[in-house]
Structures are given as C-alpha cells and as structure tokens.
Structure 1
Amino acid sequence: MDRPDLPLNALRVFEVAMRQGSFTKAATELRVTQAAVSHQIARLEDLLGASLFLRTSQGLIPTDEGRLLFPVLEHGFDAMARVLDRLGGRRDVEVLAVGVNTTFALGWLMPRLDAFREAHPEIDLRISTNNNRVEILREGLDMAIRFGMGGWTGHDAIPLLEAPLSPLCAPEMAARLQHPADLGQMTLLRSYRSAEWPGWFAAAGTPCPPVSGPVFDSSVALAELAAAGAGVALLPVAMFERYIRQGRLAQPFGATVSAGRYYLAWPSDRASTRAMNIFARWLSGAAPAPG
C-alpha cells in the first residue's frame, strides 16, 4: 500500500487542533502563533483536497473528513511517543486525561486515587473536574466520568454506580422535620434537573409542594449551602457520607429516588489505549456492581 506524502508537521498541528478544539489553544500547546496553526491546517486541506474544519461563530466544528482522520493520527502520535520514550531511556509512562464530575471526584474517586497510582505507576493520570457538562474531544480528554441515564450520542460508556438522591440539610433543620410534608415549609434548593424534587416526593408518597428555591449546577455547591442552613438539598447521599460523618449534614428521611448513575464514557471512534483499558477495569472493579 502506498503511503501518502504528507508533511508530518501539518498532521501534528491538525491532531493538536482537533484535541484542543481551537487554533488558539493549539498554538499555545505547540508554542507557535495562531497564524502558523491556521497556515498548516490550510496547507493540509489543500493537499488532501478536503476541508477538515468548519469555522463558525461558535468555534471549530470538525468535518466528517476531520473526524475520520483524527483517531488515526492520535493513535499514531501516541505510539511514536511511547517508542521514543523507550529509546531515550525514559520510563514508559502513558498520560491519561480524564474529566470527572466534581461530586464523584470529591465523594468517591479522590480517596481511592492513591491506590490506583500505587498499582499503576506507569500511568500519569490527570484529572480535571466539571459540573457534568463536558466535551471530551474538545477539552483534550481521553475519557470522562459523568452522571445521567447513559446513551450519549457518539460515545461508548460503562455503568459504574448508582447514587440515589435524598434530602440532606443541616442537623438543626433535620430535627424540625418529622414528615416529608414538612419540607413544604423549607427552602428547597434545586439542581438544573427540574424533575428531581417531584420524583422524590412521589417516592415518599407525598404531594410535591411548589418548588421555587434557587437553582445550581453543582451538587457540591448545594451541599455547602445546605450545611450552612440555607435550605434542603436533594443530593446523592453516597457522595456526601463524609459530610454526614462530620455532622455537617443529616438525612431526615429514608426515601430515595434515582435520577441516573455514574458512567465512564469515551468517544466511540477513539481507539482505546492501554491506559484507558486499565483505568476502565480498575473503576469497574472498585465501584459496586450496578444493580
């Protein structure tokens, strides 16, 4: 099979631009100007006779040709880096970038990371946190741990664990709550998932009162506000056991409702690396089996 005569530098610039999702960020990583990145991409598009990006007011959008080319180049450059590291006498360390829902990171993952690093010193695990809104490819990640119902378009995912929701509040407030209906007299702190409180009241067998408390996109922020006495938050109890042990939060009622589970996800068209496979197996073994 004939090998294409394409400039390696232009291919590398394209790979970084795809991973970063912007010419500006690619220029920063490559330590060149944005104009140089744009020039190399234009040169590669001319040689290929195909557009690799659509330039829009919302940023770069990869074309079908760009999406087809990227995973091949990414895998190739990763393989070359591993071989060059060995030839240079350095340890064969593989970088793995994982985006993690902040609640899961603080409530489950971080206390277990030392065990992973001790078991797999050959993997340089780099964690970045988010509030469940993450674009793996655009943010230069390999994988992401996110909460929901699964079925994300263009992604493969494995279920990790469920985290049923229940009301949590400051212990002093919990002492005044005798029945779920008493919550109607309290400020109910809300996440951006509007169906959660109605779902919990249905599970508790009590009509849902009007819910008009402030809305937040972070369970950690909700927990901090609830611990400070600002209201009652509907939270994944398993992720805030530390708050309960410390006496900062209390669970006044046993009823719970499921709004999804935590998943490990990655782009379907991305070839799995050894580090990705190891991390996925470790997570699956460390997390309780999904029910």
Structure 2
Amino acid sequence: MKRTHLPLNGLRVLDAAARHLSFTRAADELAVTPAAVGQQIRALEDMLGVVLFRRTPKGLELTDEAGAGLDALRSGFLQFEEAVRAMQQGQSSFRLTIAVPRDFAAKWLHHRLIGYAADNPDIRYTLVSGDSDIDFTEANLDCAIRLGDGPGDLEGAMIGPQRFVTVAAPGYAGDARISWPGCSSDQTADCEGTDTGTVMQVADAGLGIDAAIAGFGSVSAPWLLAERDIAEGRLVALGEARPARRAFWIVAPTPQWRQKKVKALVAALTQP
C-alpha cells in the first residue's frame, strides 16, 4: 500500500480501541463519539478485508488478524512521535535568520535583542541586510523587518508607533536639512521639508540621524529610530512626533510565521 493511501486516522482509532478494548473509552481518549470510533473501525475493516474486533459475552475482543499488526503499528506511532519531537526540537533551537535594514538594527533592534537574549541564553541570530524586496525562499529567512505601510501579502505585526519626528542636535538653530531615500519628494506625507534646504543626502534614516547629531542639520525620521538618541540627549525633537503612513513591520510567509521561535520573537519585539 502506498504511503499516501495509509488510513492513518483509522489506524490511530484501532490503536486506541485495542488498548482499551472499548469503543467508549477509545472515544473518550480521542475526543470523538463511540459511533465515530465504530465507523472508523468498520471503514478500516472494509479497506483491509479483515475483521478486527469481535463482541463476546465478556466484551470486546481482538481478532488474530488485528493482533498480528499491533506491535508494528505501535512501533510506527512511536517513531511518528519521535519525528515530531525532533522537528519541534529543531524549531525550538532559536536559530533565527532575520532580514533587517541596517539603520533599524543599529538604532533599535540590537538594544531590544540584548534583553531578549538574556531571557533566552541559547538564542542564535543571523542578521542579513534587507529592505523591502525580500526573497524568503532564496535567502532561507525566518522573518524580515521593513519600513512600509503594512505587511503586504505576508503575515505581519507592526513594531512600535506609526510616527515620524523631525530632530536636530541640541542647540542647532540653522535651517539646513538632511535627506534620505525614505524622505524623498514623493514621501512628503511622512516627512517635512524634503525639497528645500538640503545640505546632505544619506543612504538611510540612521545615517541621517547620525549626521544630525554631528550638527549638519535636521532630519525627519521614524520615531522608533530617533527615540533612544532623544532620550539620551544627543538629539532634540523639533515639534511633536506626527502620525505617519509608514511604520516598521516584522513580516514572514505563513509557514515561517507559524513557527514557535518566530512567534516568540514577534511577541518580544512588539510589546511596549
């Protein structure tokens, strides 16, 4: 019989009924009705062409045909359990491969992961550079972090507030601006003053924040990237943080998203 044709549900019912010699107790174990157990056994008997149980005055009794296969059946189920444990053990190893923008890693993720790693000392990370165009298959990724207006066609959860803020070094009184690709002229909904007074163009918001700290001017950036430098006095906010269209999202295809190790990471990164 081909593996794809193995009646696994019926064999599982047979194992339970043989151990209990009772359809009722087998039904309790499997959380189904006794009638469902009887139907599975009859279907299995029809498929195999043998009788598996007989009713006697003393109760349910296994036939010789059923008894002949029980040892191999139970050995097979034990091997299934070992296979499941092995796969779960591999999943619980906390080997995570994450695609993440360089500035997000430097300005926020590393600091958050320190605490997470302290609570999970066996954790191992592989961080690869990545932004919006991620090929999960080629990169063998568990998840990715990106700046955008939603998860797109992936599973996802938003990290931190959906806000941008304009910042500069303490005491800076000029009107020079620092721009980065995420605050270009077509992103004015999130940013301020992207078309005028630009004295420096940089590759990402993190470099823009560093340039602002050095005194080159002001920059509009995601609040999540600027908040630590603001809190520690290297930057000041020029006005209130404002609602934005984009935020940082942790995303993954559905199979990766269902992994326990990814769920745990998502919970750690999205908590306040």
Question: Which TM-score tier does this pair reach, normalised by the shorter chain?
Answer: 0.5 to 0.7
Match of 1:171, SS state, is: coil
Question: Displacement, 1:84?
Answer: 8.9
Quote the residue 1:248 is aligned against: 234
Q: Please, which of 189, 201, 204 is the counterpart of residue 179 of structure 2?
A: 189
Deviation at 1:254, TM superposition (A): 2.4
Structure 2 vs 1, CA of residues 190 and 276 (structure 1 numbering), >3 Å: closer, same or farther? Answer: closer
Task: Compute the displacement of 1:158 (Å).
Answer: 1.7
- For 2:122 and 2:128, the matched residues in 1 are separated by 19
Taking a change above 3 Å as real, the CA distance of residues 105 and 83 of structure 1, as seen in their structure-2 partners, is: same
The answer to whether the Cα contact below 8 Å between 1:200 and 1:256 also exists between their aligned partners in 2 is no
Letter in 2 for 1:103: D
**Counterparts of residues 1-291 of structure 1 (less than 5 Å):** 2-3=2-3, 83=86, 93-153=93-153, 155-173=154-172, 176=173, 183=175, 186-194=176-184, 195-197=186-188, 199-201=190-192, 210=196, 213-254=199-240, 256-268=242-254, 270=256, 272-284=258-270, 286=271, 288=272
Which protein shows a greater Rg? 2
Deviates more, 1:97-106 or 1:142-151: 97-106
- Equivalent-residue separation in structure 2 for 1:271 and 1:248 (angstroms): 37
Q: Secondary structure at 1:221's aligned position in 2?
A: helix
- Residue 55 (structure 2) aligns with: none
User: 1:83 and 1:211, CA in 2 relative to 1: closer, same or farther beyond 3 A?
Assistant: same
TM (norm. structure 2) is: 0.57
TM-score by length of 1: 0.54
How many residues are aligned here?
A: 193
- CA offset at residue 102 of structure 1? 3.0
Letter in 2 for 1:95: R
1:213 shift after superposition: 4.9
Alignment check: 8 A CA contact 2:179 2:201 kept: yes
Letter in 2 for 1:83: A
Change (3 A) 1:222 1:158: same
Q: 1:225 to 1:131 in 2, by over 3 A?
A: farther
After TM superposition, give the deviation of residue 142 of structure 1 in Å. Answer: 0.7
Q: Any idea what the Cα deviations from partners look like across 1:188-235, whole Å, max 9, x if unmatched?
A: 42334423446544xxxxx98646555433111111122222222111
What is the distance in 1 between the residues matched to 2:181 and 2:161? 18
C-alpha spacing 1:151/1:238, structure 2 compared with 1 (3 Å):
closer
In the TM superposition, residue 236 of structure 1 has moved relative to its aligned partner by 2.0
Structure 1 residues 167, 156: closer, same or farther in 2, change over 3 A? same
Aligned-partner Cα distance in 2 for 1:255–1:124: 35
Deviations 1:124-150 (A, max 9, x none): 333334455543332221101211111
The alignment-based identity, stated in percent, is: 20
* Unaligned residue ranges in structure 1 (runs of 5+): 5-78, 178-182, 202-206
Answer with 235-244 or 225-234: which moved more. 235-244
Maintained 8 Å contact 2:257/2:263: no
Residue 136 of structure 2 aligns to a residue in which SS? Answer: coil
Q: Secondary structure at the match of 2:135?
A: coil
Verify the 8 A CA contact 1:165 1:259 in the aligned structure 2.
no
Partner of 2:21: none
Q: Distance in 1 between matches of 2:231 and 2:250?
A: 28
Verify the 8 A CA contact 1:95 1:124 in the aligned structure 2: yes
The answer as to whether partners of 2:94 and 2:122 remain within 8 angstroms in 1 is yes
CA 1:146–1:199: 2 relative to 1, 3 Å: closer
Instruction: Report the equivalent of 1:53.
Output: none
Amino acid at match of 2:158: P
Q: Distance in 1 between matches of 2:241 and 2:269?
A: 28
